[in-house]
Structure 1
Amino acid sequence: MNTTQLTQPTVKRNLMMSMIALSMGGMSLSTQAQTELPSKQSQEVEQLRQEVQALRELIEQQKVQTAQTATAIAAVQRPAPVAIAPVAKTAKGAELNFYGNVRLDASYQSEGGGNVNMPYNQINSVPLKGNAENSDRLKSTLAATRLGVDFKSQVADQEVKGKIEVDFLGGASLDNLRIRHAYLTYADWLIGQTWSNFAVPDYMPETIDALAYVGGAVKRTAQVRHTTKFTPQTNLVMALEDPKDASITQRLPALTARLNHQFANNFNVSARAMGHEKRTNTDEEMAWGVGLGAKYEVVPGTTLKADYYHVKGDSSFVSFTNSGVVTQADGSLVQSEFDSITVGLTQQFNEKLRGTVGYGYMTFDEDPNYINALADKTKANKDLWQAWANVFYSPSKPLSFGLEYVYGEREAFGAAPNGSKTGEDNRVNAVAIYNF
């Protein structure tokens, strides 16, 4: 038998070769494993990235859908925008705001009465009892219908503002157009015609009567006025006014002053003073007066108003007075002097209904020189008083209806031929107003 004889060197060499082969095989397997692992991890990472990106896109889509839904809901809930009409402008650029009302006044005169065409207060001249009284008479007018325009424009760094307002209460026939207010304001100045700085209507109790009652004043004068503000609660108003007193020869305007102060949100007061020269060709006297008004909200909805005047020698400012001066036989002037007060309480029952009760009184000094200088003593009064009660009903904002009862009397310095010295005013007033 031929048997190959393996020598020791040959065995060693074969063993070494086998080990090398195994080693090379292991290295190959290791290299293959190392090569395959990164490749698999990269695939997993890439897949994870794709999933994250898909998730992001889904979130973004959800945000867009949520925003669109919120917008749609808001569009349904939010009312449609209101179209605001532009303010009217003049060719010079002034902005205008028009306003006014249509007003029907009616009065049933039970007793007394003066001018048969006048449905408003005439307490100082109602006939004395038994002397041509106009009792049991219905009167009506639309003469208090009002038209107005507010305007403003920019001048340098200040606004110029103003008002023009008219009604038809001019003349004895109550059908003539007249100016109520016509003025402009610049900074702290006012120039034009508006409420007198002395006889302000702010503290009169509310009335249906367009001319107010005893103790009140609805005087509008041409004036130049300046306001000084000391604090937000206190200011001083000074004015030069033209009182248009036909009884005298006027050469100087009246000087008026008004100090306003607010003690609290529900309590306002006003102290006023006036001085005015009364002059004829042969004599001159100084007229003067003081006034004090207060407005107090007792509780929400309940307001108390009061106004007091003491005046000597003037009939230009406060309503229903005797002539401020009369001329004696020697040409000298003699002055009238009076005190007046009006007080009233207004109750706001609800947003549509309110009512007022009020009382006014005026008493004149019994100066014999003044009384003896009068041409007709029955036309000058010793005392005047009126009391009234009214209700206003506003079913909607532009509409207002009012009903009022008033009773008053006057006592004259002289007696009528029948011996009567007293006249009375007993009537019911009604009003319907449409504001625009």
Structure 2
Amino acid sequence: MTTQTTLIRSLTATAVLCALSTTTQAATIGDTDINYGGYVKIDAMWSDYSAGAPAGTNVGRDFYVPSTLTVGTDDDSDAVFDMHARQSRFNFGTSTLLDNGKTINSKIEIDFLASAAGGNERVSNSYAPRIRHAFISYDGWLFGQTWSNFQNVGALPETLDFVGPAEGTVFVRQAQVKYTTGAWSFSLENPESTVTTQGGARVATDDASLPDFTARYTMNADWGQFVVTGLARQLTYKQNGIDADETSFGLSASGKVNLGKNNLKFMLTQGKGLGRYVGLNVAHGAVLNSDELDAIDSTSGFVAYQHNWNNQWRSTFLYSFFSADNNTDLLTITGDPTESSQSYSANILYSPVKKLTFGAEFKHAERELESGNDGDMDRLQFSVKYAF
């Protein structure tokens, strides 16, 4: 093996380790470097709901999901305690130097959130693993399931809650084909529409004849990063003899500003019919009005400041919001949809060593319906996480 080839392999392995976060090189077999990583995390949460707690099986009890926040009168105030280790995850990756001098990488990652239980909390607390990422990348191309090109994962702040700015961020993982060249990347991604039908019911449809299309520009500088992304897709509803479609567009700007040892992260997203792409689907993509789709406009965003008190202690202060521009002429169809959602949070994190973190976080969240009916939640969360 030549010195040049050895250098190429070394640089390639370094790039892969950076791309696959919290990974450790386990072995080299032939021309393939094998990596693994992940973390073990336990979360304990005390949550006080102004309008009654969701059922214990509700995903909003495991992490903050804006659409599950109950609304009603303060007379139904209810506090509950939950504890789980479902966010723990494991990833496995490979990096292979090919005969043509190029490298092909792969990654598979699983966790246990939002998946079916294989047991119960009475005895085993078993949960089925779910796929997070499964992709290969080669020569600028990516094939498989990973974060949507419309999302900027680098803008997500460090929080104990699984998502953090849940109502204010683009948050989607799905199958796609993506090509990256320089600062630009473009993707064709799996389509899916969420449509409001009579009485406010949500219907998920998978009848689009075209993939979702995204474009992204990333600017990296000494001061931080700035990302602009665009989305174009087809909303569809083909049921009960109805064949309706509508075009959806969205634009998102996000980034990170370095402030010495501290940083400021942000995102602002606006669009027509964004639906499932924003706020964990706190609003649907469109309303079925007779035999036509009326896309729902929305604006969302967040700002987060992280302060490093010293080498072991740090805090993140976060504000997140979502606002839907519902067509009030269609309320007889939609019932009483979400008009707005917002949350505030602050945490304190302590890492005695780099890969071990103890933390406490307080979150206050609010949701208001178009009628003005609202509800809120106060949550105190404690977590311990070890990355390997």
Structure-2-length-normalised TM-score: 0.81
Report the counterpart of residue 128 of structure 2 in structure 1: 176
Report the counterpart of residue 326 of structure 1 in structure 2: 287
Q: Over aligned residues, Cα RMSD in angstroms?
A: 2.1
In the aligned structure 2, how far is the partner of 1:287 from the partner of 1:201?
22
In the aligned structure 2, how far is the partner of 1:260 from the partner of 1:170?
31
Q: What SS does structure 2 have at the residue aligned with 1:372?
A: helix
In the aligned structure 2, how far is the partner of 1:115 from the partner of 1:308?
32
Report the counterpart of residue 254 of structure 1 in structure 2: 212
Return the offset for 1:370. 4.2
Q: How does 1:30-41 map to 2 (within 5 A)?
A: none
For 2:178, which of 225, 230, 236 is the aligned residue?
225
**Gapped regions of structure 2 (runs ≥ 5):** 1-23, 118-125, 194-203
In the aligned structure 1, how far is the partner of 2:383 from the partner of 2:97?
39
For 1:353, which of 295, 310, 313 is the aligned residue?
313
Report the counterpart of residue 114 of structure 1 in structure 2: 54
In the aligned structure 2, how far is the partner of 1:180 from the partner of 1:273?
23
In the aligned structure 2, how far is the partner of 1:244 from the partner of 1:313?
12
For 2:359, which of 371, 395, 402 is the aligned residue?
402
Given the superposition, is the C-alpha separation of residues 278 and 131 from structure 1 closer, same or farther in structure 2, using an over 3 Å criterion?
Answer: farther
**Does 1:166 find its partner at 2:127?**
no
Structure-1-length-normalised TM-score: 0.72
For 2:233, which of 269, 276, 300 is the aligned residue?
276
**Does 1:208 find its partner at 2:208?**
no
In the aligned structure 2, how far is the partner of 1:261 from the partner of 1:127?
40
Task: Give the residue type in structure 1 aligned to 2:320.
Answer: G
Given the superposition, is the C-alpha separation of residues 146 and 104 from structure 1 closer, same or farther in structure 2, using an over 3 Å criterion?
Answer: same
Structure 1 contact 212–218 (Cα < 8 Å) conserved: no
Structure 1 contact 334–370 (Cα < 8 Å) conserved: no
**Does 1:236 find its partner at 2:184?**
yes
For 1:193, which of 140, 145, 153 is the aligned residue?
145
Return the offset for 1:337. 0.8
Structure 1 contact 170–176 (Cα < 8 Å) conserved: no
In the aligned structure 2, how far is the partner of 1:153 from the partner of 1:399?
31
Which one scores higher on RCO, CA 8 angstroms, separation ≥ 6? 2
Q: What SS does structure 1 have at the residue aligned with 2:274?
A: coil
Structure 2 contact 150–170 (Cα < 8 Å) conserved: no
Given the superposition, is the C-alpha separation of residues 158 and 189 from structure 1 closer, same or farther in structure 2, using an over 3 Å criterion?
Answer: same
**Does 1:96 find its partner at 2:34?**
yes
Structure 1 contact 325–334 (Cα < 8 Å) conserved: yes
Return the offset for 1:142. 0.8
Higher helix content, 1 or 2: 1
Structure 2 contact 274–298 (Cα < 8 Å) conserved: no
Report the counterpart of residue 136 of structure 1 in structure 2: 79
Report the counterpart of residue 272 of structure 2 in structure 1: 312
Given the superposition, is the C-alpha separation of residues 355 and 401 from structure 1 closer, same or farther in structure 2, using an over 3 Å criterion?
Answer: same
In the aligned structure 2, how far is the partner of 1:243 from the partner of 1:104?
34
Task: Give the residue type in structure 2 aligned to 1:216.
Answer: T
Q: Deviations over 1:55-91 (max 9, x none)?
A: xxxxxxxxxxxxxxxxxxxxxxxxxxxxxx984256x
Structure 1 contact 123–424 (Cα < 8 Å) conserved: no
Q: What SS does structure 2 have at the residue aligned with 1:395?
A: strand
Report the counterpart of residue 32 of structure 1 in structure 2: none
Q: Deviations over 1:2-55 (max 9, x none)?
A: xxxxxxxxxxxxxxxxxxxxxxxxxxxxxxxxxxxxxxxxxxxxxxxxxxxxxx
Task: Give the residue type in structure 2 aligned to 1:215.
Answer: G
Q: What SS does structure 2 have at the residue aligned with 1:169?
A: coil
Radius of gyration: which is bigger? 1
In the aligned structure 2, how far is the partner of 1:153 from the partner of 1:109?
47
Report the counterpart of residue 157 of structure 1 in structure 2: 101
Given the superposition, is the C-alpha separation of residues 306 and 276 from structure 1 closer, same or farther in structure 2, using an over 3 Å criterion?
Answer: same
In the aligned structure 2, how far is the partner of 1:165 from the partner of 1:211?
17
Given the superposition, is the C-alpha separation of residues 422 and 87 from structure 1 closer, same or farther in structure 2, using an over 3 Å criterion?
Answer: closer
In the aligned structure 1, how far is the partner of 2:153 from the partner of 2:25?
33
**Gapped regions of structure 1 (runs ≥ 5):** 1-84, 230-234, 416-420
Given the superposition, is the C-alpha separation of residues 177 and 132 from structure 1 closer, same or farther in structure 2, using an over 3 Å criterion?
Answer: farther
Task: Give the residue type in structure 1 aligned to 2:39.
Answer: N
Return the offset for 1:111. 2.4
Q: Deviations over 1:253-307 (max 9, x none)?
A: 1000110112x31231011100001122321100110000121112x11201110
